Structure 1
Amino acid sequence: MFKTYLKTAWRSLIKHKVNSIINITGLAIGLACSILITLYVADELSYDQFFPGKQQIVRVNTDFNFGGREMKMAQSSDIMGPTLKKDYPQVQAYTRIYNNDGARLIKKDNEYFNEKRVASVDSTFFEVFELPAIAGDLSHALDKPGTVVVTASAAKKYFGTTDALGRRLEIKNEDSIKPFLVTAVIKDMPANSQFQFDFLFDMQDVHYNWGAATSHNFYTYLKLKKGTDYQAFEKHFPEYVHKYVLPYAARFIDVSSMGADSVNQILSYSLMPLTDVHLHSDRLSEISPGGNIQYVYIFSAVALFILLMACINFINLTTAKSGARAKEVGVRKVFGTDRKQLIYQFLLESIVMVVIAMLFALLLDFFLLPGFNELTGKNLSFSVLLSPGFLLMLVLLPLVVGFMAGIYPAFFLSGFRPVQVLKGKFKIGGRSGKFRNGLVVFQFSISIILMIATIVVYRQLHYIQTKNIGFVKDQVLILNETGPLADHATAFKNELLKMPEIKSGTFSGYLPVSNSFRADNSYSAAPVMTSANGFSMQDWKVDEDYIPTLGMQLVQGRNFSRDFVSDSTAVVINETAAKYLGAGNPVGKYLYGTDYQGNILKYHVIGVLKNFNYESLHSNIGPLGLFLKSSPYTASFKVSTSNMAQLIDRIKNVWEKFAPGMPFSYRFLDDSFNEMYLTETRAGTTAIVFAALALFIACLGLFGLGMFAVEQRTKEIGIRKVLGASNRGIIQLLCREFLLLVLLAFVIAVPVAWFFMHSWLQEFAFRTNFAWWIFAVAGGAAMLIALFTISFQAIKAAMRNPVTVLKAE
């Protein structure tokens, strides 16, 4: 019986070639999109899921709200981990991760390499994060100073083998070189982890002001004992703050008048499960760039909708072609075939079609995966589909999709009454026609929503690119990791300034982009800091040429000058910081801070900068102060040349003269600026691709329905033409019905698209407006594309000779 069903299904596909091609094409595209997005979503959801005991691992987050500025940090103080382990038995183990030292210069033969995948960790790191060792005892690998654990890739790079135990890495730090003993080799950290380190150094070699309870520079992870509810454990944090943080903070701020409620409002801690960090964290300075759970939801929904649209095409075209199979159903029923057998037959036809479409979809994905990886920034492999989970999905998906696409047509076709069919009284239309129209409206609604979303995303990205952000980001060349210049930094800079293409240059560790190092400290307008007059402010160490090189604008006062020795205790603040100093001109007023010992530092304000966006446009502009201090770790040069490659070669030659053997690397400020919006850019590009595919699938179905409508009305068209109807009138008649459906889809899509995209724009502190023409463009485009799709069939019908049509009838 099954073999007979299969033969019948195959013959039906061959007989209705055009209908089959349209269905298989739509289903193949829908399945290909679904498989690609499933790979993406599965990868995003898999982050850090491989760690044993992952349910027990949490990270300590910090929320700081001082002087009206709220900061949500992924880091905590250096005392947090050891103190919680000491005071609370619920903590099984802790570890801290410190990477504020930046990159490390590691020597190989006579050459140094700038390694950025580095961190300093506690010896307890491997108690919290159980990673597979290739060699060495991880439980004691970082017990002593001067030790390092490396990955297999790092060991092969520097020693040519993973057998690296007992060997030494030479690390350059300014003018000194320190050897580190390799005590263990671990497997490379998986790509689906926030921890992307090749070198783990012992924490004892970090130069830090230990015991600073109010300085938050460490990623602190706790491994709680089994059965401990992390949300219940969070209730101990206010006790920790009052016992340890307030006594330390009393060095800098008058805490005597602060009640418990106000303290908890200023500083609070919380815990975040390890497996939530990648997709659910929106905090500053994550260890590695995170994902966004919203985009996972959006991509999943898009995949589902595209697959549904492909199924809708199948339903529409199958029910539309029902007249061609009505007699077949009638005859089979007369010969004793019951409805159940007919349903099995039509469902099997549907599944066969989906299986064929699945094969084409896998072939499409094989060629599309590299481009999809580039689009999403992933490194997904086609071999993942061979894993048991995905193989099961590939087997079940044709069955599920085949059932979804075929269940309605199966019941619809098997429900024909044989007497009416064989007497010629069977008519197509009625409820099935309304159902098909409803499905067309759904398809185009989704397509229009995606088009509106695409326009809004790209309009916001254009706004970001063209907004006056308060500094010049174009033609600014950045030299990375210039620390090896040491005392030769000024001489190097002066040598470069002799080049006519270089207009100005500056050394600093701080740039107005999110991936630049930055520091927040507390300041006040009075010598005694209180919760009323204190505020948190970013402080950047810069030189005299920083402001002119980056094209920042002074609205009051002056820039730093080499002619004023007193500028060593001066500060240039932005307009936001100026508001905290009270009314009137802030120039000449004083700003007070403290050092690590609690000594009061007094700075006089010499200038006010016009506010500029030094973080992503997701954030408001906070207080900022520029201080005249040495920070020779990054060099920025304003350049003007049409031959950038030649200029960089000349700069490299000068670099090799002043820092022989040291790695030379560079980037451009505008590229770093664009990296802040990489997620949005990728989302916008992905939206374009999926919107185009969704529209193509919808038009594919519309093309099939248009072809069917023309076939059904061939005699009517011939009679109309004989009676004097024009070609234009015939085309309008055939197109009107479908354009009304697209118009209805537009009316439904507009409020839905507005709601979701309005919510998305609220994530930006600075955003474009929601212009009315966005809806008009999306709706107009959908109407024109639909008109073009239907017109092809309509024009073909209108141009046919009515005599030939009526003669055939």
Structure 2
Amino acid sequence: MLRNYIKIAWRNLRKHKFYSFLNIFGLALGLASCLLITLYVVDELSYDKSFEHADRIYRINADIRFGGADMSLAVAPDPLAFTLKKDYPQVEQVVRLRENGSQLVRRSENTENLKEEHVCFADSTFFKVFSLPLLMGDREKALKDPYTVVISQSDALKYFGNENPMGKGLTVDNEQTYTVTGVMQDISAQSHLRDINMLLSMSSNPESRLNGWGSHNFNTYLLLKEGVDPKQFENNFETVLQKYTAKWLVSFLGASLDEIRKSGSYLRYSLIPLTKIHLHSDRTAEINVNGNIQYVYIFAVVALFLLTIACVNFMNLATARSSNRAKEVGVRKALGSERSSLVNQFLTESVMLSFFSLAKAVTLAYLALPLFNNLAGKQVELPIREIGFWVSLFVTGGIVGVLAGSYPAFFLSAFNPLKVLKNSVELQGKGGYLRNALVVFQFVISVMLIIGTGVIYRQLNFIQTKKLGFNKDQMLIVNDAYALDNQVKAFKEQVMRLPNVENATVTSFLPTPSSRTDHTFFPVGQMQQDKGINMQKWAVDYDFAKTMGLQMATGRPFQEEFPSDSTGIVINEAAAKVLGYADPIGKKIFGYEDQELKQRIDYTIIGVVKNFHFESLKKNIGALSLVLSRSSGNVVFKLNGGDVARTVDQVELLWKKMAPGQPFSYRFMDEDFNNVYRSEQRVGQIFITFATISIIIGCLGLFGLSAYTAERRTKEIGVRKVLGASVTNIVALLSKEFLRLIIIAILIGIPIAWFGMNQWLNDFAYHVDLAWWMFFAAGAVAITIALLTVSFQSIKAALMNPIRSLRSE
């Protein structure tokens, strides 16, 4: 019997090639898109799950409100980790990481440096918390001694080739030599620690010995014992605050923890599971740029939408073509076929078509995978060697086939054979309402995706064109200026002589955004906890404001003719507002350079710079201060156009002359700025791509339905033409039915899209408004696309010779 079902199904597919193609291609597009998005979603959900005790590892987060600033931090104080280990038996092990940024690294016996992007200090307990295989070395001792280093397998090959790296030296930043005591397996790309290739022993970091409860600089992880409830364990943080942090607050502010809380300030610690960091954490001082669970939800819904649209196409076309199968059903029933047999026949056709589509979908996904990976910034692969993958595909094909074919199967098998054979049954009304509902559903999704695409595009364009309060274009950043040693100033002056260079500044702090350096300041004579202001402090030179294009609201920037500027400070408007000064110029504030409260420095406010966006547009502009101090992280040059490539070559020649053996590394500030929003840009590109695919799939179905409608009304069109109807009248007649459905879809889709995109825009402190014309334009696009799709078949039918359609009459 099954063989007979398959044979008849094959004949029907071949007989109606046009509709079979529309169904197979539309379903294949939907399945391929769904497959690619599923790979993306699975990849995002798999982060950090490869570690052996991933379900028991937690990171400590800190939330702080003080001095007019709210901070959500992924870091904790340096003594917190081992204090918890000492005081609470629920803690099995702890480890701290201190991100050290990019470093210049070379073999000790060499003079040529290489740039290492992600270097971290780590406690010797790192391998007890994270079950990362150590290919060489002792897990217990690898990071125990000062000035030891564990490198990745990739770095071992990069620095030592085929040599055994154990016991050999690596010099970091031309200063300190570290002995290699271990080689670890490369950290998986599916980990928030993925870019770390070099771990320096934490005992080499002087910050780790300060025992400062007020400074938050360490990513801190706990491995809890089996059965420990993390929510209950969080209650212990209050005890820690009262026992340890409160003493530091009294020594620093002269105020108790309760007094600080009464003023509206707070310090809170919480735990986040290791496996949730990648998708649920976007805090200051994250080790890596994380993903966003919202985007995973969005893409999962888009995948479901695409698959649903493809299934809807099948159902629509199958029910629309019901009249062509009606007599077949009537004859089969008259000859004794049971309804279950007919249902099985039609479901077999549906499942067969689904598997054809699935085969094409896998091929399409395989061919599109490199493009998709480039678009999404991923390295996902089709798991074609895994049996589970093929089993999942087989099951999916069967489910899709049954779901897509279920209604047509039961619809067609329900025909009364007597009425069908006497041509006395009205077939169109039976499936018309469902087809109309499905068309509306398809275009509700399409309208939502069109609106979403438009809003995302406008927001990204807004980010690109918004006035940020500083120069970001034509700004050349030369990295690692400290490699020039005492020739930084000479390098800057020589580059300034090049014809295309306008200004230059030496600084480690850039508004793209830079790393945080939060400090607490007080008005002189007013060291009360409710008078403090928490703001970033950037060390800059005399040329910083001019080179960056910062505008002064009042006062002046640093100037060499004023020796007193060594104790001067420039604040931004946000800081002036928090301080509450109507006229800040000349006012004195003070702060401390260390946690020991030994280096108090008094500053005189000499200027207020207009607010500029030194952080992501997702955040409001916070308080910022500039102080005059030596900082040699980068040399930034403002170019005036011209031949940029030639200028870069000239800068590189000067670098190699003044810093032989040091790698020349540069970037442009607008690229840095774009990298901040790389995730949103990728999401936008992916969204646009799959929105386009959804529209194509919807149009395939609409094209098939319009072709069928024109075919069904061929005789009516012939009569109307004989009676004088024009081509325009005929096109309007055939298009009117679909136009009504599209308008209904627009009216349903707009409020849903408005709600969804409003939620997305709320992630940005600065964003575009959802103007009415955006929704009107999306509706116009949907109508235009639908009419273009329908009009092809409508015009074709209208131009047909009426004699051909009426001859049989």
Please classify the TM superposition score into its range, dividing by the shorter chain length.
over 0.9
Is residue 2:575 matched to residue 1:574?
no
Which shifted more, 23-32 or 721-730?
Answer: 721-730
CA contact (8 A) 2:249 2:257 kept: no
Aligned to 1:629: 629
Aligned to 2:618: 618
SS of residue matched to 2:253: coil
Q: Cα distance, 1:10 vs. partner?
A: 0.8
Aligned to 1:461: 460
5 Å matches for 1:199-598?
Answer: 199-208=198-207, 210-256=210-256, 258-259=258-259, 261-262=261-262, 265-382=265-382, 384-514=383-513, 516-596=514-594, 597-598=596-597
SS of residue matched to 2:439: helix
SS of residue matched to 1:218: strand
Aligned residues: 804
2:269 counterpart letter in structure 1: Y
CA contact (8 A) 1:554 1:607 kept: yes
CA contact (8 A) 2:260 2:266 kept: no
The verdict on how the C-alpha distance between 1:691 and 1:426 changes in structure 2, with shifts beyond 3 A counting, is: same
Which whole-Å CA distance do the structure 1 matches of 2:93 and 2:496 have between them? 53
For 1:254-287, what per-residue CA distance to the aligned partner results, in whole angstroms no more than 9, with x for missing partners? 2148437448951111110000100001211210
SS of residue matched to 1:251: helix
Gaps of 5+ in 2: none
2:23 counterpart letter in structure 1: N
Which whole-Å CA distance do the structure 1 matches of 2:56 and 2:602 have between them? 46
Aligned to 1:115: 116
Which shifted more, 229-238 or 163-172?
Answer: 163-172
Q: Cα distance, 1:598 vs. partner?
A: 1.2
SS of residue matched to 2:6: helix
CA contact (8 A) 2:246 2:256 kept: no
SS of residue matched to 1:471: coil
Which whole-Å CA distance do the structure 1 matches of 2:525 and 2:744 have between them? 67
Which whole-Å CA distance do the structure 1 matches of 2:563 and 2:617 have between them? 37
5 Å matches for 1:72-221?
Answer: 72-100=72-100, 102-107=102-107, 109-161=110-162, 163-173=164-174, 176=175, 178-195=176-193, 196-208=195-207, 210-221=210-221
CA contact (8 A) 1:525 1:580 kept: no
SS of residue matched to 2:188: coil
Which whole-Å CA distance do the structure 1 matches of 2:433 and 2:230 have between them? 54
Q: Cα distance, 1:26 vs. partner?
A: 0.5
Q: Cα distance, 1:486 vs. partner?
A: 1.7
For 1:608-655, what per-residue CA distance to the aligned partner results, in whole angstroms no more than 9, with x for missing partners? 000001001100011000010111011111012321111111101111
Which whole-Å CA distance do the structure 1 matches of 2:26 and 2:685 have between them? 22
- TM-score by length of structure 1 reads 0.97
CA contact (8 A) 1:43 1:192 kept: yes
Q: Cα distance, 1:396 vs. partner?
A: 1.2
Which whole-Å CA distance do the structure 2 matches of 1:153 and 1:676 have between them? 27
Which whole-Å CA distance do the structure 1 matches of 2:111 and 2:568 have between them? 43
Q: Cα distance, 1:581 vs. partner?
A: 2.8
SS of residue matched to 1:217: strand
Q: Cα distance, 1:427 vs. partner?
A: 1.9
Which shifted more, 93-102 or 149-158?
Answer: 93-102
CA contact (8 A) 1:509 1:632 kept: yes
SS of residue matched to 2:613: coil
CA contact (8 A) 1:26 1:700 kept: yes
For 1:486-545, what per-residue CA distance to the aligned partner results, in whole angstroms no more than 9, with x for missing partners? 21111111111111211111111110012x223111112243432311121010000010
The verdict on how the C-alpha distance between 1:305 and 1:256 changes in structure 2, with shifts beyond 3 A counting, is: closer
1:602 counterpart letter in structure 2: D
SS of residue matched to 2:200: strand
Aligned to 2:782: 782
Which whole-Å CA distance do the structure 1 matches of 2:110 and 2:602 have between them? 48
SS of residue matched to 2:534: strand
2:279 counterpart letter in structure 1: L
Which whole-Å CA distance do the structure 1 matches of 2:8 and 2:129 have between them? 61
- TM-score by length of structure 2 reads 0.97
Aligned to 2:679: 679
SS of residue matched to 2:302: helix
Aligned to 1:753: 753
SS of residue matched to 1:532: coil
Aligned to 1:43: 43
CA contact (8 A) 2:99 2:118 kept: no
Which whole-Å CA distance do the structure 1 matches of 2:264 and 2:51 have between them? 33
Which whole-Å CA distance do the structure 2 matches of 1:167 and 1:9 have between them? 71
Gaps of 5+ in 1: none
RMSD over equivalenced CA pairs, Å: 1.5
The verdict on how the C-alpha distance between 1:28 and 1:568 changes in structure 2, with shifts beyond 3 A counting, is: same
SS of residue matched to 2:192: coil
CA contact (8 A) 1:135 1:163 kept: no
Q: Cα distance, 1:67 vs. partner?
A: 2.3
Which whole-Å CA distance do the structure 1 matches of 2:306 and 2:808 have between them? 40
CA contact (8 A) 1:162 1:185 kept: no
Aligned to 1:2: 2
Which whole-Å CA distance do the structure 1 matches of 2:381 and 2:264 have between them? 47
The verdict on how the C-alpha distance between 1:194 and 1:566 changes in structure 2, with shifts beyond 3 A counting, is: same
Which whole-Å CA distance do the structure 2 matches of 1:411 and 1:616 have between them? 55
Deviation above 6 Å: which 4+ runs of structure 1?
A: none
Q: Cα distance, 1:159 vs. partner?
A: 1.3
Q: Cα distance, 1:367 vs. partner?
A: 1.5
Q: Cα distance, 1:345 vs. partner?
A: 1.2
Which whole-Å CA distance do the structure 2 matches of 1:482 and 1:237 have between them? 42
SS of residue matched to 1:490: helix
Which whole-Å CA distance do the structure 1 matches of 2:94 and 2:163 have between them? 28
2:535 counterpart letter in structure 1: M
CA contact (8 A) 2:68 2:578 kept: no
Aligned to 1:26: 26
Which whole-Å CA distance do the structure 2 matches of 1:162 and 1:750 have between them? 64
Which whole-Å CA distance do the structure 1 matches of 2:654 and 2:166 have between them? 38
For 1:369-424, what per-residue CA distance to the aligned partner results, in whole angstroms no more than 9, with x for missing partners? 11111111111123x24334423321211011111101111111111111111112
1:466 counterpart letter in structure 2: T
Q: Cα distance, 1:741 vs. partner?
A: 0.4
Which whole-Å CA distance do the structure 1 matches of 2:478 and 2:326 have between them? 75
Aligned to 2:723: 723
CA contact (8 A) 1:253 1:528 kept: no
Q: Cα distance, 1:303 vs. partner?
A: 0.5
Q: Cα distance, 1:583 vs. partner?
A: 3.5
Which shifted more, 152-161 or 521-530?
Answer: 521-530
2:46 counterpart letter in structure 1: S
5 Å matches for 1:601-680?
Answer: 601-680=601-680
Q: Cα distance, 1:249 vs. partner?
A: 2.7
Which whole-Å CA distance do the structure 2 matches of 1:548 and 1:351 have between them? 69
Q: Cα distance, 1:658 vs. partner?
A: 1.4
Which whole-Å CA distance do the structure 1 matches of 2:441 and 2:658 have between them? 66
SS of residue matched to 2:297: helix
The verdict on how the C-alpha distance between 1:257 and 1:378 changes in structure 2, with shifts beyond 3 A counting, is: closer
CA contact (8 A) 1:476 1:670 kept: yes
1:393 counterpart letter in structure 2: S
Which whole-Å CA distance do the structure 2 matches of 1:378 and 1:276 have between them? 19
Which whole-Å CA distance do the structure 1 matches of 2:103 and 2:172 have between them? 11
Which shifted more, 751-760 or 582-591?
Answer: 582-591
